[in-house]
Structure 1
């Protein structure tokens, strides 16, 4: 049972919670495939090149103190993917073209749907809203600016600007302090069990809401969210139950 106390604030994740980053990524990869098809790269290598890039992206480690930008790191991912798939050293210009085609397409496609924007505008009238997103500072701020959502939140917090990211307690404590609320006044809404839901539970929020758009099963040993919904657009139902 949830404590009988009114929700004052909602903390939202960004990627695959408010915006379809995965879908935008698929469109971006297809653009790179089209680019590679127009070059001397063998068609049989193209799918493997893109898959190698996505694996490198998934396991990416980035430390800005090393003097490289995230753009440098991701151009290198494409360079290595081209090299590994073809067995020869690629033209660095091709790796750069692949990266900027992927990056720019993803930012162009990424958007806050009219329905989600309307939801946030309605919630803004009753609750304090905060956007809390993990990731490299440059990358996440580029996404936030691309979808033009800053004005919908009391505060926008990007994990890459802080010593620790979700699920660390420190970044949640920072959010509570800047909202001027207690953890029990907040709910956490996100698509990641290990970061959003675990972080919210660790921080002591009133409730956690898991966005499970593709009907995933909760893995054994994972945390259990208080609520599971297929879309952030179902959040009003959760809030009605919590009120």
Structure 2
């Protein structure tokens, strides 16, 4: 076992510390009800509109220099999704209603559980903690504010505020510099093999810890994490092994 002591922990946010996917699912269901009430469409068409919106989110490439806010871009996603499914006969304001219902419902449903808050408090007494999350700056800052997690971290780094996001080495180097630690002093904890675990591997951190509620099945060609746990609440067991 490597005797190098762990001094710092980098945490991902979405689906690591907070259940963003679950909150997003609930927000989509509420938006579906709005669409159903407003447009009197069948369930399949409503599902098609929502699926189109989710696909546009996944494929989103936001450029803040283009003159449109992220809110305006995502209102556009709903407008396009509705038009693609039913044409242009929907009320002009419906896309904005859908977006803000989805956005606000998702934010309202995000939270740090009591157990995770207690874990972070305990860890903060022994390690430097940094939140490192990918995503558009406004969106991620709104999540951080909604769940009130600032108090638990020595620093918060939002990928969308920098030239490169996870898994690129530059953003990890920034984190190490902010915490005044070396890569080998750190572990990273996150749910994404492509960004969190690959990024940790690229940065040569002490260990990578993958959060996999599905049981830890790896895809062919994916990076292999040093440790796999179903929930971040199991992290103390890994830290005990790393002593």
Alignment length, in residue pairs? 242
Q: Contact 1:79/1:90 (CA < 8 Å) preserved in 2?
A: no
Separation of aligned partners in 2, 1:65 and 1:181: 34
Runs (5+) with no aligned partner, structure 1 = none
Does residue 19 of structure 1 match 2:18? yes
Please name the residue that 1:129 is paired with.
129
Matched residue SS, 2:93:
helix
Instruction: Note the alpha carbon deviations across 1:4-44, whole angstroms, 9 max, x for none.
Output: 11100000000000000000000100110111122124124
Change (3 A) 1:32 1:216: farther
Separation of aligned partners in 1, 2:92 and 2:163: 33
Runs (5+) with no aligned partner, structure 2 = none
Instruction: Note the alpha carbon deviations across 1:61-86, whole angstroms, 9 max, x for none.
Output: 11101111110111011001101111
- Runs (4 or more) in structure 1 with deviation over 2 Å come to 87-92
Separation of aligned partners in 2, 1:27 and 1:12: 24
Matched residue SS, 1:5:
coil
Q: Cα RMSD (Å) of the superposition?
A: 1.0
Does residue 37 of structure 1 match 2:49? no
TM-score by length of 2: 0.97
Please name the residue that 2:211 is paired with.
211
Please name the residue that 1:178 is paired with.
178
Instruction: Note the alpha carbon deviations across 1:171-215, whole angstroms, 9 max, x for none.
Output: 000000000100000000000001000000100100000000122
Post-superposition offset of 1:100: 0.2
Separation of aligned partners in 2, 1:73 and 1:59: 12
Post-superposition offset of 1:87: 2.9
